[in-house]
Amino acid sequence: MANNVHGHGSSSASLNAPVLAPGHDFETITEAVAQIPLAKRTPIGWVLGFMGAFGLFMMLQAALGKLVMTGVGIWGNNVPVGWAFDIINFVWWIGIGHAGTLISAILLLFKQQWRMSISRFAEAMTIFAVACAAIFPLFHTGRPWLAAYWLFPYPNTMGLWPQFRSPLIWDVFAVTTYATVSIVFWYVGMVPDMATMRDRAVSMTKKRVYGVLSLGWRGSARHWHRYEVASLILAGLSTPLVLSVHTVVSFDFAVSVLPGWHATIFPPYFVAGAIYAGFAMVLTLAIPLRVAYKLEDFITMRHIDNMAKVMLATGMMVAYGYAMEAFYGWYSSNPYEQFMIWNRMTGPYAWSYWMLIAINAGMIQFLWFQKVRANLKLLFVMSLFVSVGMWLERFVILVTTLHRDFVPGSWGMYYPTQWDFMTFVGTIGLFLTLFFLFMRFVPMISMFEVRTLLPQAKVKSEHGHGN
């Protein structure tokens, strides 16, 4: 493997770092990526990490089992705060998945080469995040087998249809479409690499499994043509989903008449916040991955720097959204809107509001500095804080809006229970469990895409111009 000269975190390195470190050829790229899932021995670090993640996943199983047997009363939801941890975490997880779709679809259409090394695990992150998100509205209904299926628009013998004017129905359409397209896009992108794994595998079991997953891929011109057409079609389908999914999620709030929710700025700033949170999670995963599996040649400082810049841009959009929320409350001269903003800033949950402002509007300003974007340890910590800040944003939007209504007699405080925390932490365990399995059995980096970055992969015309 080529020596990595760009992974030491210097400020000049991230500015001049290539998308692929020099010194590689087709074979070294394939060997470096394929050896991870084809390794006979599982690294002890992977085993310990998987055991911890699976332990958290078991916590989710226990919490959901208790909920099914007892009911949603085990959660802290009450009369003024009917939506709490369940919807907070649903919106948070949906947002995390957005970066994967943006990287795989929009950056593909814009032919951004730096996406190639991170697209595979970013897409996986999207699918796993959507799986975690789906748990919360499903069990928010209490007994899914008695209630959840009423959300789906199909005819039934009692002549009842879902309320199509409700954005909750739109959520079902948006999220299921998002999940379906993301899974198909992810899998189609892996087909050529699965064929490579099939050809390199020694174990007969692995040969057969990868052979089935590769769908008979032989790398013919016809196969490549169909692959490229399918990729462009799926990218075209995925691109509007980046904007539409979190826009629809924001409509859950924006179409209401509650002060603090009824705002036209919600759709764009929810989308910006989703991309912001998603790229923070990609950085959270990419920084330790490149060190643990010695992938610094493929996930270079150029990738880290670009992702930090996207975080900065979307973080500034989110900060603008916060400022406009406060401005709307004041400028509207509506006493209820003014009270809601004032309550967020000075009420019993003011700590959460000022924490999210400090993280999402204050801390993000450090990313203007190249030295900060090149400091991997600092960037990793900042990406974790961004995830916390975006969770607090959803907490503020939901809880501070609901816990004090128009009538003081209906005011109440919300306190999450141990089962709320167990369910939330358990979904983090589910996410990490799926991601550890993905790391162990699937090529984390798209081998065939990264190989196209090599000089010998460039096809030149008679006049010497690259096609």
Give tens-digit pLDDT for 118-159: 989 899 999 999 999 999 988 887 777 777 777 666 666 556
pLDDT of 2 reads 44
CA distance 327 to 313: 21
Domain for residue 460, yes or no?
A: no
Residue 169's pLDDT band (cuts 50, 70, 90)? confident
Q: Which domain holds residue 96?
A: 11-455
CA distances from 195 to 215, 231, 332 (A): 8, 17, 60
How many domains, the chain?
A: 1
Say how far apart CA 86 and CA 83 lie, in whole Å: 7
- pLDDT exceeds 60 at position 460: no
Q: Is residue 6 part of a domain?
A: no
Q: Considering the domain boundaries, does residue 174 fall inside one?
A: yes
Res 338: pLDDT: 92
- Looking at the predicted structure, is the pLDDT value of residue 381 above 60? yes
Number of CB atoms found within 10 A of residue 65's CB: 10
Asked, for residue 465, whether it belongs to a domain, the answer is: no
Contact 69, 62 (CB under 8 A): no
* CATH number of domain containing 132: 1.20.1630.10
Question: Is the pLDDT assigned to residue 392 strictly greater than 50?
Answer: yes
- The pLDDT of residue 153 is 64
Q: What is the mean pLDDT of residues 433-438?
A: 96
Please check the confidence at residue 160 and state whether its pLDDT lies above 80. no
pLDDT value for 34 = 92
Provide the strand spans (E) within 403-444.
Answer: none
Whether 464 is in a domain gets the answer: no
Global confidence as pTM: 0.91
> How do the residues of the chain divide into helix, strand and coil, expressed in percent and rounded to 5?
75, 0, 25
In a domain, 1, yes or no: no
Q: How far is CA 365 from CA 60, 260, 320, 323, in A?
A: 36, 26, 13, 15
3 falls within a domain = no
Query: Is residue 88 over pLDDT 70?
Result: yes
323 within some domain: yes
User: What proportion of the chain, given as a percentage, has pLDDT over 70?
Assistant: 91
